[in-house]
Amino acid sequence: MNKAIVALFAAGITLGANGCGIARPDVPDSLKAPPGEKVILVGHATGVQIYVCQAGTNAPFAWTLTAPEADLTDSSGKKIIHHFAGPTWKHIDGSEVVGKKVSQEDASKPDAIPWLLLKATSHAGQGVLTRVTSIQRIHTDGGVTRGADACNASTNGKEFKSPYSADYYFYAPKSK
């Protein structure tokens, strides 16, 4: 993680501890969380995007995303969340949130997966993630299938894991 991101995380956690809240990141309008929500948690993910080679209905063979597999850490590097298929995020306190993509924008890096805005669709357990209503995936690096072996009949069903990193911002309704 670069020094600027570490500084932002540290500043966000300090602001949150002082009751000022964590600053919203600068993102395109299509990726902004609703105005009635505030950032409650930020994590840096490192892991893989998992693809499988398969033919679609009336379509040629292609790499299809099946799941992410990543761990999110806080500003001190402590693992706080595991991210997996769903897409689902499970916090160390046992709470979980599942999201659904609302919008996406091309990443700022050429070989990176898109930035996303997701809406929470379900929750489990009790803890910090049970309040989450929106999630942003930004500052992505890697995670695309470029460089993967050819996807064709001979590689049908083959899995490809593409390393990636990203920052995730979790939002919940503002307190009244």
pLDDT in tens, 53-82: 988 777 788 899 999 999 999 999 999 999
Cα–Cα dist 70/81, whole Å: 9
Cα–Cα dist 26/5, whole Å: 13
Token duo for residue 88? 């689902």
If one counts the domains in the chain, the total is 1
Residue 131 is predicted with a pLDDT of 97
Residue 147 is predicted with a pLDDT of 62
Q: Which residues of the chain have pLDDT under 50?
A: 1-19
Q: Which residues contact 68 (CB under 8 A, 6 or more apart)?
A: 45, 47, 48, 49, 50, 83, 84, 85, 87, 164
Residue 60 is predicted with a pLDDT of 83
Q: Which domain holds residue 77?
A: 3-173
Residue 176 is predicted with a pLDDT of 59
Cα–Cα dist 119/123, whole Å: 12
Residue 16 is predicted with a pLDDT of 40
Residue 150 is predicted with a pLDDT of 83
Residue 82 is predicted with a pLDDT of 98
Q: Are 108 and 100 in contact, with CB atoms under 8 Å apart? A: no
Token duo for residue 170? 């979790």
